[in-house]
Structure 1
Amino acid sequence: MTEANQEPEVQSVKALEEEGDIAADYLEELLDIFDLDGDIDIDVRQGRAYVAISSEEGEGDLRLLSNPETVEALQELTRLAVQAKTQSFSRLILDVSGSRQARVDQLTKLVNRLVAKVQESGEPLAMKPMSSYERKIAHDLISEAGLVSESEGEGKERHIVIKPA
């Protein structure tokens, strides 16, 4: 690979790190407004800025923010703040007190149950609507189980249908 081919990738990582910095500044201000303590870590994973808020005292006050719906809403607000500064679309991922891993664990159990039902019945099965991030995780789990999945619907109604292979 030539240097010219590598440069866009490096710029992409730099742009993602910049997204993370902007997001961290925004989140730091929000934490200050609500008088919450939290450490903010920035990473780049799978082509996305990944921002995590944690606390040395365990969950503590952050449990107020670690509800999955609250994390999703806070993530969208943070993405909007980043987009306003960078003038480009953000696919930033926010995690509060390990809430993402807890959701992945919950989603894994659900997908495994539904995969077993599809394997047993041989009939397609629709899942409830979920975020694009969660759909990606579910698609990967379904594929690993040897089944096929498709996203259907629009907007907030977008969901996965699990089908036999």
Structure 2
Amino acid sequence: MEAPEVQKQKVADFLQTLISPGRLNLKFNILACNGQVQPNASESAGAVEPVPASTKKQPSSSSSDSQICVEFTGPDVSLLLARNGELLLAMEHVAAKILRFEHEEHDRISFDANNYKLLRHQELRMAAEAAIERVRRTGQPFAFAPMSSRERRLLHLELAASGLPTASSGEGARRFVVLYPEGEAPPPAPSKDDRAQAIRQRFRRR
């Protein structure tokens, strides 16, 4: 496994290569996931100067377990956060691939801007509370909208306290969480052969 300093430099190089040719008016700081700016982590990108410890941004709960946290600032932050943070999450995904993180290791890196992930976590918490109340009242399963693997994991954690069963369903970007009533077991996950058969049938229909 590469040293943290090497990983941070790879992320900084990737972002600089992306931001400069793309003419994005962005700055970034690579943090130690405790709010401390890494020395010279993004000097070439014109990152803002480190601020006093009392005013430094503390990481959100969605990034507190990460090893590499990147905070973006600048006029073009709105582009990163458009369409539910689509570009921000895509850049995070590519950075994880550059560092050769396995799929289950993607939480080791976190990109954020304007507390987007903290606010999103609060939204997920409120959605979980509403879903729990609805499932208990109606006795019917509730399916959430498709979301990223990181958000699905957070949602499962928020729902766990209710004691109600949960499961993820769907494939790829359309994968979503389902909350089930008490005593109702989620359907068994399809086997690899079943998934392969479904893919073949989908292409045949085309």
- Could you say whether these structures have the same fold, taking a TM-score greater than 0.5 normalized by the shorter chain as the test? yes
Corresponding residue number in structure 1 for 2:144 = 127
Q: Deviations over 1:5-32 (max 9, x none)?
A: xxxxxx6xx6455433321321133233
Equivalent runs, 1:41-80 vs 2, <5 Å: 41-43=30-32, 45-46=64-65, 48-55=66-73, 60-67=75-82, 68-80=85-97
CA gap of 1:154–1:35, structure 2 versus 1, over 3 A, is closer
Question: What displacement does 1:133 show?
Answer: 0.1
Q: 1 or 2, which has the higher helix percentage?
A: 1
Are the aligned partners of 1:125 and 1:163 in contact in 2 as well (CA < 8 Å)? Answer: yes
SS at match of 2:76: helix
SS at match of 1:65: helix
Unaligned residue ranges in structure 1 (runs of 5+): 1-10
Q: Deviations over 1:22-67 (max 9, x none)?
A: 2132113323332423131233543x43322233xxx532222123
Q: Which amino acid aligns with 2:181?
A: P
TM norm structure 1: 0.73
SS at match of 2:167: strand
Q: Which amino acid aligns with 1:54?
A: F
CA distance in 1, matches of 2:5, 2:133: 40
Question: What displacement does 1:164 show?
Answer: 2.5
CA distance in 1, matches of 2:115, 2:8: 17
Q: Could you tell me the percent identity over the aligned residues? A: 23
- Of the structure 1 ranges 112-121 and 149-158, higher mean CA displacement relative to structure 2 is found in 149-158
Corresponding residue number in structure 2 for 1:32 = 20
Unaligned residue ranges in structure 2 (runs of 5+): 34-63, 183-206
* Residue correspondences, number: 145
TM norm structure 2: 0.60
RMSD value over aligned CA atoms? 2.4
